[in-house]
Amino acid sequence: MIFVAVGTQFPFDRLIRCVDEWAAAQGIEVLAQIATGGYLPKHARYERFMTTEAFNTALQQASLIISHAGMGNIITAIESSKPIIVMNRQYELGEHRNNHQADGLEWMAKLPGVYTAKTCEDLRILLDQHDNLSAGSQLGHERRQRLINFIDQAIRA
C-alpha cells in the first residue's frame, strides 16, 4: 500500500490527482490524506484528516510514503524506515504562500531514503520505480541529532 499525506494546512490537489491517476493505471492500493482538497480521488481511498493513531497505522502499513515537503512527514518516514517521495507545493501555482518548499528540495534529496519530485512527471517516474526505492536506515539518537542539525543548517543557509 502507498500512503499519501498532504498535511493539514493546505490542499495539494496536483499531488493527489497525479498519484490517483497513476494508481488507476497500476492497480496499486493507495490511501490518501487530502485535507481540504477539491480533487476527490477516484481510484485511491482517502480521508480528509486523520487522527494521529490512524496516520501512524497507515504509515506503518505502507511500503512507500508520498508527501508534501513537510519535515514532520520526512523525519517520521526516515525513523520508520520507509522510503518517501517528497513533492513541493509551488507558490506560482497557488499551492502555498511562498516557495520555501521548492527551496528545500535540493537538500531534502540528500537525506537517506528521501526522493524528490517537482512535477507530476517527476513523480510518475519515481512511482514507476517504487519497488526499487529504498528507505534510510533507522535513526539512533546520534543520527537523529545529526539529521536535525543538517536540516537546521540547510534552513539557515
Task: Say if residue 103's pLDDT is above 70.
Answer: no
The domain locations on the chain are 2-156
Q: What is the mean pLDDT of residues 130-146?
A: 73
Give yes or no for residue 145 having a pLDDT over 80.
no
With beta carbons less than 8 A apart as the criterion, state whether 48 and 24 touch. Answer: no
Class of domain 2-156: alpha beta
What is the pLDDT at residue 138?
58
Q: Give 10's pLDDT tier (boundaries 50, 70, 90).
A: confident
Residue 32 to residue 26: CA distance in whole angstroms: 16
Q: Tens digits of per-residue pLDDT, 18-36?
A: 999 999 999 899 999 999 9
